[in-house]
Amino acid sequence: MWAPGKDFFVLLSLVSALRCRADTISEFAEDDDDDHNHEILRVLPNTYNWTHRPRIRGRWLDVTCAAHILNFGAVSEQTMDFEVSLQLAQEWRDPRLANLTQNAWLPVDASVQMWKPHVDFANTKSLDIATAEEETTMWVSQEGIVNLIVRYDIKASCQMTLHAFPMDQQICHIRLDGFDDIRLEWGFPSLMTMNTVPVISDATAFHSQFKLTGITAKSYVTSFLPSVPGKGCTFSEHTCDYTDSDVCQTSTKLCAEEAGSEECDKCVFYTGICANTTKHCELLDTGDKSTYTSLEIQFHLSRRFAYHLMQMYVPSTFIVIMSWISFWIEIGAVPARVCLGVLTVLTMTTQSSRSHAMQEVSYVRAIDIWIVACQLFVFTALVEYAVTYRFWLAQKNDRSAIIDMEVKLTENGTSPDHRPIEMNGAHDKRSNCKFIPTAAQNIDRVCRMVFPTMFVLFNITYWTVYLSDGV
């Protein structure tokens, strides 16, 4: 039976749906004045609700991530943090967005609200989105695959251990946590070419006192609860060796003069030598709502030693060697030896104040041991002169007493062995007597050998201990 009201409502709904579809398609096209006539998505279907995540079978919605390290900036020991700029790509499937275009990929207008994965940077002190608000950051494929690419400027905390400073090695990391039942994993989003690894770097943009020796990209499952069996299980790991990256940094004019060349692209999209490992984590299958997945980028850093070698170690070594000159100066030359000793002590004290400023720590660093040892060598050289001078004075007084006795005897016309001597030579003998203090001279002679030997032994022990793990 015909029902006018019902059929009219059905017809009206059909017309509205067709009109909405037509409006949506028409919004894909730019103005006719655009010669390129690019399509862009500005309106979503009425059935799309951006506050709900895509419906999938099972618990986890897979979100594949990749990163391009655009710049690695300063690392601060004072504030225990580092700066990095990166471009993060995320990819997931949303069936609600399928068949919106016949093209392979359709850019989405920045004003369109779409569902995005809930991803947090866990250990950042500051986070800035460097991508402009009006820029396109999202693309949709014909199959409903969504790509989101955003650039971030990050300052992240890095807890450093400075026992071996300035020959230390550090591991700083950036952690991303995925919530709302999304499974984060490093991979290869469609719109971000990553060669064979999900994390690549611009090796020409490493501006730091550290050398980046490697990058590890980890995907693991964890939990909000303090103790859960299987917590922290890594189900995907990519480890890359960056030993050869210094070639890109030394060739500063490489990309300036040959932008787009094969050599330049190799440095701008540097991958290193990588190895991949995967394993199954049972917690991914058995975990409850308290479990979630995380991504981590670990930066393996080795401090560049040349600066500290030239600014601290070489000058302080010369100061210690300079303090040994006093062993060759005549003991009686008091002003010369005292001035040299005081000068070396003060110079070493000034040099030690140039130690790299950093956060106060409750333990001894390698540079502290070096400075204290050098100060001890310089100070001991000054003390050595005080000891030898004391011996010299004592022996000089004893010798003077003997000479006085000889003079008195010669004034009576006899020598100590009762033989007559000439009186005219007695005073000349006392005034022209040159005294060489044997004990004090022997101390100087011994120190000329002992001090350099001890300093060499100290250096052998010091560098063996702190270079055993490699600089």
pLDDT, tens digit (0-9, with 9 covering 90-100), for 214-249: 999 999 999 999 888 889 999 999 999 998 888 887
Query: Among 5-9, 170-174, 251-255, which range has the highest average pLDDT?
Result: 170-174
Predicted confidence (pLDDT) per residue in 150-181, tens digit: 999 999 999 999 999 999 999 999 999 999 89
Which pLDDT score, from 0 to 100, does residue 71 have? 92
Alpha carbon distance 411, 370 (integer Å):
61
Residue 417 is predicted with a pLDDT of: 52
Tell me the domains of the chain and their CATH numbers.
22-304 (2.70.170.10), 307-466 (1.20.58.390)
Residue 449 identity (one-letter amino acid): M
Mean pLDDT in residue range 82-96: 94
Q: Are 201 and 69 in contact (CB under 8 A)?
A: yes
Higher pLDDT, 293 or 329: 293
Q: What is the pLDDT of residues 59-74, one digit of tens each?
A: 899 999 999 999 998 8
What pLDDT shows up at residue 253?
Answer: 64
Q: Which among 234, 146, 236, 226 is positioned nearest to 187, based on CA atoms?
A: 236
The answer to whether residues 156 and 124 touch, using CB atoms and an 8 Å cutoff, is yes
What pTM was estimated for this model as a whole?
0.79
> What confidence score (pLDDT) does residue 446 get?
92
Q: How confident is the model at residue 357 (pLDDT cuts 50, 70, 90)?
A: low
- Pair 331, 261: CB distance under 8 Å: no
98-138 pLDDT, tens digit each: 998 888 899 999 889 999 999 999 999 999 998 887 788 89
CA distance 85 to 52: 31
Give residue 2's pLDDT: 39
206-243 in b/e form (b: 16+ CB < 10 A) is: bebbbbbbbbbbbbbbbbeeeebebbeebbbbbbbebe
Cis peptide before 166 (omega within 30 of 0): yes
Average pLDDT, integer, range 264-291: 90
Interval 407-460: pLDDT, tens: 555 555 555 554 544 444 444 444 444 444 567 788 889 999 999 999 999 999
Six token digits for residue 294 = 């995380």
